[in-house]
Amino acid sequence: MQIRVGVNGATTEHDVEPRTLLVHYLREDVGLTGTKVGCDTSSCGACTVLVDGESVKSCTMLAVQADGAEVTTIEGLAPEGEMHRVQQAFHEQHGLQCGFCTAGMVMASVSLLEEVPNPTERDVRLGLEGNLCRCTGYHNIVQAVLAAARAGS
């Protein structure tokens, strides 16, 4: 099926099989490999992107369902090379170790801060409960999101 998807402000158009997942469309057809695949059970959140501004695990959505939508991936957060405040906060607060979960964590955090601009620590922990990190113990990730919130207020 021919689909047309806005990705980070550009129009992408590809012929995909109906069973193609959005995450595979982004990584293999569009060539944006910042979005990661960390599980096959919809549980890790490494594949999180924004679809029409909403946080979505892109392994739970078919590419054809994104036909006509606007998708933002981690590559779209810093189009001019200047880090988004959430990326900057993850950097400054050491909110990552191996980095595998980071793109998904950052995208989920961007979405969270859109909905709750001044979250409490509990809000952040609840907001990111769908994103797993095997390295950090979460403390610095939570601190990073709180710092990003302060930077945006």
CA 59 to each of CA 15, 35, 39, 54, 146: distance values in angstroms, whole numbers, following the listed order: 18, 10, 9, 15, 27
* Cα–Cα distance for residue pair 144/84, rounded to 1 Å: 12
Among 55, 136, 140, 143, binds ligand FES (CB under 6 A): 136
CB of 2 to ligand FES, least distance (A): 25
Closest separation in Å from C-beta 147 to ligand FES? 17
For ligand FES, the binding residue among 64, 83, 116, 135 (CB under 6 A) is 135
Contact 105, 141 (CB under 8 A): yes
Cα–Cα dist 23/5, whole Å: 13
Question: Closest distance between ligand FES and the C-beta of residue 21, in Å?
Answer: 9
Q: Are strands 2-7 and 70-72 parallel, antiparallel or unpaired?
A: parallel
Dist. CA 143–CA 149, nearest whole Å: 10
142 binds ligand FES (CB under 6 A): no
Q: Which stretch binds ligand FES (CB under 6 A): 25-33, 93-101, 107-115, 120-128?
A: 93-101
Sign of the dihedral through C-alpha 93, 94, 99, 100: negative
Binding to ligand FES (CB under 6 A) within 94-123 occurs at 96-102
What type of residue sits at position 33?
A: T
For ligand FES, the closer CB: 4 or 139: 139
Binding to ligand FES in span 35-74, by CB under 6 A: 37-39, 42-47, 57, 59
Site size toward ligand FES, by CB under 6 A: 22
Interface with ligand FES by CB under 6 A: which residues? Answer: 37-39, 42-47, 57, 59, 96-102, 133-136
